[in-house]
Amino acid sequence: MTFMGTMTVVWYSALPWLWLLALMLVLFLVPQVIARMKGYAFTQKGGVGSKYLPPLVFVLALFLLPLHTQSSIAYVNTWVDWLNLIGASVGLGIYAWLVFHPVCYLRNRKA
């Protein structure tokens, strides 16, 4: 497949989800920017939220991602299925940490 062919497929795949990608970007950037203006770094101490919510998001994603595709975890069958599901769930867990960690930092700072 040519480069432009790949781009075209990626474009049409992303098109219905541009609103979600934009929303996720905002949810990621707003706490990051605010927290960093107040001395935040990834190495700072988080809080209960950033400790427990990302794993919870990971576990929930394992079940909810197949449901979101009108399927079920019972149909996750091959190693590629599991790799995709675990990879996507880990990604969402990391995203949750990136959102919650600065939020917790700001809460700690307030307290």
Partner 1 sequence: MSKNSLPFENVSRRDLLKFGIGAGVVGPLALSSTSAQAINTNAHFVIVGAGAGGTSMASRLSRALNGARVTIIDARERHHYQPGWTLVASGVWNKNKTLSNTQDWLPNSVEWIRGRVAEYDPDNNRVLLETGEAVPYDYLIVACGLQLRYERIEGMDVDLIGQGKGVGSVYASIEHAEKTNNEINQWVASGGGTGLFNLPPTALKCAGAPLKMTFTTLSKLEGSGRRDNFNVEFMTPSGGLFGVPFYNDFVKQRFEDQGVKRNDFWTLKGIDADTKKATYLVKGERTGEASSGHYTTGGGNQQQEWEETKDFDFIHVVPPMTAPDSILNSPLVFADDEAFPTWMKVDRETLQNPDYPNVWGIGDVMGMPSNKTAASVKMQASVLEQNILAYLQDRPLPARHNGYTSCPLITGIGKAMLVEFGWGGELLPSFSFIDPKQESWTVWVMKERMLRPAYYAMLEGRV
Binding residues (CB under 8 A) for partner 1: these are: 1-15, 66, 69-72, 75-78, 80-81, 84-85
Residue with Cβ nearer partner 1 (43 or 70): 70
What is the DSSP code string of the chain?
Answer: --HHHHHHHHHHHHGGGHHHHHHHHHHHHHHHHHHHHTT--TTS---HHHHHHHHHHHHHHHHHHHHHTT--GGG--SHHHHHHHHHHHHHHHHHHHHHHHHHHHHHHHH-
* CB of residue 60 to partner 1, shortest distance in Å: 17
* CB of residue 100 to partner 1, shortest distance in Å: 24
* CB of residue 67 to partner 1, shortest distance in Å: 9
Residue with Cβ nearer partner 1 (6 or 108): 6
Residue with Cβ nearer partner 1 (4 or 37): 4
The number of C-alpha atoms within 13 Å of 36 and in the hemisphere containing its C-beta is 10
d(CA 17, CA 21): 6
* CB of residue 102 to partner 1, shortest distance in Å: 23
Residue with Cβ nearer partner 1 (15 or 111): 15
